[in-house]
A and B are shown apart, each in its own frame.
Chain A
Amino acid sequence: DAGVTQSPTHLIKTRGQQVTLRCSPKSGHDTVSWYQQALGQGPQFIFQYYEEEERQRGNFPDRFSGHQFPNYSSELNVNALLLGDSALYLCASSLPRANYGYTFGSGTRLTVV
């Protein structure tokens, strides 16, 4: 049973560029959340998608946007990259009411230079 799959695993981008990260949820899960984990910090909630709509959003600027597809997979887009966007981006999937058992992927390490 495949867990949460994220691609790519590592990425280097230049300041000002745009990036797209991808996530395939665990089989049977229909809710996808994205988190940003900066070095030495805990993961911070970016947004959550359910039924192809953004259901919740954390304190992140509009440069961060997302999408969920009919097969429940999701993309995270970041425009006008800043050096401070360098972080590990984690995708987590779940069922809507399943006792908070979020399943996390291994993440995408984004470096902005």
Chain B
Amino acid sequence: DQQVKQNSPSLSVQEGRISILNCDYTNSMFDYFLWYKKYPAEGPTFLISISSIKDKNEDGRFTVFLNKSAKHLSLHIVPSQPGDSAVYFCAASVENYGGSQGNLIFGKGTKLSVKP
């Protein structure tokens, strides 16, 4: 059973507009959420993260929102640029006993296409 779900395999957005990528999760024990971006023939690149004690984190054009009651998070990209075209993965983790990083559980990804 998938613990992290990205229900939209693809999203197409016009340059300059907002891109909203969604992610749902089922495990209420997750305490950290991350977004990774992946270009073809490259490994995933860390984009932005959010702790479960927060509901928003912003970094430049990228903002992640967390709704714990709905077990839902979203990534907003404003304004979208053609270089943002990539596959975006949502990931979640549970901190290990002793405070070390837990492994990442990924969704299947959403392919974002930003058209000029």
Using a CB–CB cutoff of 8 Å, the interface residues on chain A facing chain B are 4, 31, 33, 35, 40-45, 48, 50, 55-56, 58, 90, 92, 94, 96-107
Contact = CB atoms under 8 A, between A and B. Distances in A.
Contacts of A45: 103-105
Given A40-B108, A43-B106, A100-B32, A90 B43 contact: yes
Contacts of B107: 42
B71 to A, nearest CB: 17
B101 A94 contact: yes
Contacts, number: 64
A100 B43 contact: no
A80 B63 CA distance: 45
Contacts of A107: 43
Interface in B90-105: 91, 93, 96, 99-105
Given A42-B4, A104-B45, 17 more contacts: A33-B104, A41-B108, A42-B6, A42-B89, A42-B91, A42-B107, A42-B108, A56-B102, A56-B103, A90-B43, A90-B44, A97-B99, A100-B34, A100-B93, A104-B36, A104-B44, A106-B41
Contacts of A56: 96, 102-103
5 contacts: A31-B101, A42-B109, A43-B44, A45-B103, A55-B100
B49 interface: yes
Contact of B104 (A4, A102, A105): A102
A100 B42 contact: no
Contacts of B93: 100
Contact of A96 (B45, B89, B101): B101
B43 to A, nearest CB: 3
Contacts of B109: 42
Contacts of A102: 46, 101, 104
Contacts of A44: 106
Nearest to B87: A42
A4 B41 CA distance: 14
Given A100-B49, A105-B43, A48 B103 contact: yes
A96 B107 CA distance: 23
A43 B32 contact: no
